[in-house]
């Protein structure tokens, strides 16, 4: 009987599709559109996308337009393999990983739509002199980050192989073109300038407009951070993660000539080095020194309300009399982290989706400090004030204290 019903339904399928053809076509169109935008917005990705970029890279390399240390391993001898796409990682057009001599690395594209370095003079192609190019490199760094780099650093940035000086004129010109594209990019530039600081992802190589950095492990248990688990081991992991994030922020704000602001903070933008001993910030597109981000805020369009004075997560205030934004960022990295990561997503000052440190294990004292950290002045809506030093110290100390207690209990049980 059951089989007969199935056969009857199958025989009627053509008629069903015909009479509901408009509904079916509409549903398929919606699904395909949704799938397109999920890929477009990097919510999902496919390895076909990654291989498409590898193909483009290798075509540029074969044409002599792309040079760099990872070109041949990727395109000639297949030394780089295990190509995989990545979603939720960056605002970049391409973010994919590969493996090179058992070292995993992540490829990214440099800034697009960069005008050519060369120019034409009566039909003759001209390039800047070495001295002119060094001055240009220093000017770009100064304009982007308000940082004055030394001549030695500028020379290092002006070569793809810091210890090698290209003497072939044509090859050097192509090298200059490649470097010119790369140094326009925030992520490449920060990793290259501060390569010895081990605070941003290490730069491992380049190939034309692509550059490769070290792979950093996703934060352990990311998928479970939105759940209420009663597991003490899970709670200990959350606490250790929070401590590492606070320590990274402290380093960013006190280890440079001026503090660095992270203007696009998400949990997936943090990554852990292989040994798990420290954390780095993965997505450097919205990372700027304080004076540089203050300049960006100041140049925002005329404002009517405070919400008009925002550069991603970096916030300022609006002067309603002049309709201009304040010339400085008023919140801080820790305020954003407490608000968006530790507490979670809120609506009307009520936590709707719990964050990293909001679990049944969270002590009332910690919850209270987190609320003060996220909103020091108890503002309605988005906070625009940074927590003071006292709150920062209390938060760090209580995280250390709770983590040690939970760890001791875990090993004693």
Please write the tens of the pLDDT for every residue from 84-118: 887 644 456 568 899 998 899 999 998 777 888 99
- The model's pLDDT over 341-379, given as tens digits with 9 standing for 90+, comes to 999 876 555 556 789 999 889 999 999 999 999 999 998
Element (H, E) at 171: helix 169-182
Tokens for 281, please give them. 């910030």
Q: How far apart are CA 223 and CA 273, in angstroms?
A: 19
Q: Are 35 and 106 part of one and the same domain?
A: no
In angstroms, how far is CA 179 from the centroid of its own chain? 21
Lowest mean pLDDT among 14-18, 187-191, 198-202, 374-378: 14-18
pLDDT of residue 246: 97
pLDDT score of 35 more than 50: no
Q: How far apart are CA 243 and CA 407, in angstroms?
A: 14
Last residue of a domain, one of 215, 234, 250: 215
Q: Are 175 and 284 part of one and the same domain?
A: no
Q: Are 122 and 258 part of one and the same domain?
A: no
pTM to 2 decimal places: 0.85
Say which residues have a Cβ less than 8 Å from residue 202's Cβ, sequence separation at least 6. 191, 195, 213, 214
Q: How far apart are CA 222 and CA 274, in angstroms?
A: 16
Dihedral angle at the C-alpha atoms of 216, 336, 263, 260, nearest 10 degrees?
A: -80
The Cβ of residue 400 has, within 10 Å, a number of other Cβ atoms equal to 13
Q: Are 379 and 239 part of one and the same domain?
A: yes
Where residue 10 falls among pLDDT bands split at 50, 70, 90? very low
In angstroms, how far is CA 411 from the centroid of its own chain? 36
Q: Are 282 and 383 part of one and the same domain?
A: yes
SS3 percent helix, strand, coil of the chain, rounded to 5, is 45, 15, 40
Q: Are 6 and 138 part of one and the same domain?
A: no
Q: How far apart are CA 378 and CA 382, in angstroms?
A: 10
**Averaged pLDDT, 113-140:** 93
Q: How many folded domains does the chain comprise?
A: 3
**Averaged pLDDT, 284-304:** 94
Q: Are 207 and 242 part of one and the same domain?
A: no
In this structure, what CATH number is given to the domain that contains residue 388?
1.10.510
pLDDT of residue 21: 53
Last residue of a domain, one of 215, 240, 269: 215
Cα(first)–Cα(last) distance of the chain, in Å? 59
Element (H, E) at 58: helix 47-62
Where residue 277 falls among pLDDT bands split at 50, 70, 90? confident
Q: Are 155 and 256 part of one and the same domain?
A: no
pLDDT of residue 87: 61
**Averaged pLDDT, 257-261:** 96
Q: Are 174 and 292 part of one and the same domain?
A: no
Where residue 65 falls among pLDDT bands split at 50, 70, 90? very high
Sign of CA dihedral 108, 213, 54, 223: negative
pLDDT of residue 37: 47
Last residue of a domain, one of 194, 215, 236: 215
Q: Are 27 and 56 part of one and the same domain?
A: no
Q: Are 51 and 200 part of one and the same domain?
A: yes
Q: How far apart are CA 370 and CA 363, in angstroms?
A: 11
Say which residues have a Cβ less than 8 Å from residue 239's Cβ, sequence separation at least 6. 357, 399, 402, 403, 406
Q: How far apart are CA 365 and CA 380, in angstroms?
A: 22
- In eight-state DSSP terms, residue 358 is -
Q: Are 23 and 100 part of one and the same domain?
A: no
Domain holding 54, by residue range, is: 47-215
């Amino acid at each position: 009987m059951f089989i007969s019903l199935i056969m009857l339904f199958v025989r009627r399928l053509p008629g069903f599709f015909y009479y509901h053809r408009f509904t079916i076509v509409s549903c398929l169109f919606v699904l395909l559109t949704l799938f397109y935008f999920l890929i477009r917005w990097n919510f999902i990705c496919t390895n076909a996308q990654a291989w498409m970029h590898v193909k483009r890279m290798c075509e540029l390399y074969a044409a002599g337009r792309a040079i760099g240390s990872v070109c041949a391993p990727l395109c000639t001898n297949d030394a780089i393999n295990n190509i995989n796409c990545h979603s939720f990682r960056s605002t970049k057009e391409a973010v994919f990983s590969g493996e090179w001599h058992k070292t995993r690395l992540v490829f990214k594209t440099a800034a697009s739509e960069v005008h050519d370095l060369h120019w034409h003079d009566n039909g003759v192609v001209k390039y800047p002199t070495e001295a002119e190019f060094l001055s240009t490199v220093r000017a770009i760094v100064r304009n982007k980050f308000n940082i004055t780099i030394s001549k030695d650093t500028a020379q290092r940035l002006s070569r793809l192989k810091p210890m090698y000086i290209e003497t072939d004129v044509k090859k050097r010109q192509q090298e200059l073109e490649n470097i010119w594209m790369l140094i326009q990019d925030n992520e490449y530039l920060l990793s290259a300038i501060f390569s010895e600081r081990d605070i941003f992802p290490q730069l491992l190589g380049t190939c034309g407009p692509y550059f490769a950095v070290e792979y950093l492990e996703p934060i352990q248990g990311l998928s479970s951070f939105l759940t209420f688990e009663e597991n003490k081991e899970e709670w200990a992991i959350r606490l250790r993660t929070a401590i590492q994030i606070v320590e990274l922020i402290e380093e960013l704000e006190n280890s440079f000539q001026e503090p660095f602001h992270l203007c696009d903070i998400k949990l997936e933008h943090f990554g852990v080095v292989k040994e798990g001993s420290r954390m780095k910030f993965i997505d450097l597109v919205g990372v700027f020194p304080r004076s540089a981000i203050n300049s960006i805020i100041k140049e925002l369009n005329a404002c009517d309300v405070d919400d008009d004075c925002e550069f991603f997560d970096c916030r300022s205030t609006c002067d309603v009399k002049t309709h201009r934004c304040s010339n400085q960022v008023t919140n801080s990295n820790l305020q954003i982290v407490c608000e968006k990561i530790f507490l979670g997503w809120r609506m009307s000052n009520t936590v709707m989706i719990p964050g990293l440190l909001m679990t049944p294990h969270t002590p009332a004292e910690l919850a209270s400090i987190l609320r003060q950290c996220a909103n020091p002045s108890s503002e309605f809506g988005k906070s625009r004030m940074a927590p003071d030093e006292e709150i920062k110290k209390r938060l760090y100390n209580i995280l250390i204290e709770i983590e040690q207690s939970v760890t001791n209990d875990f090993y004693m049980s």
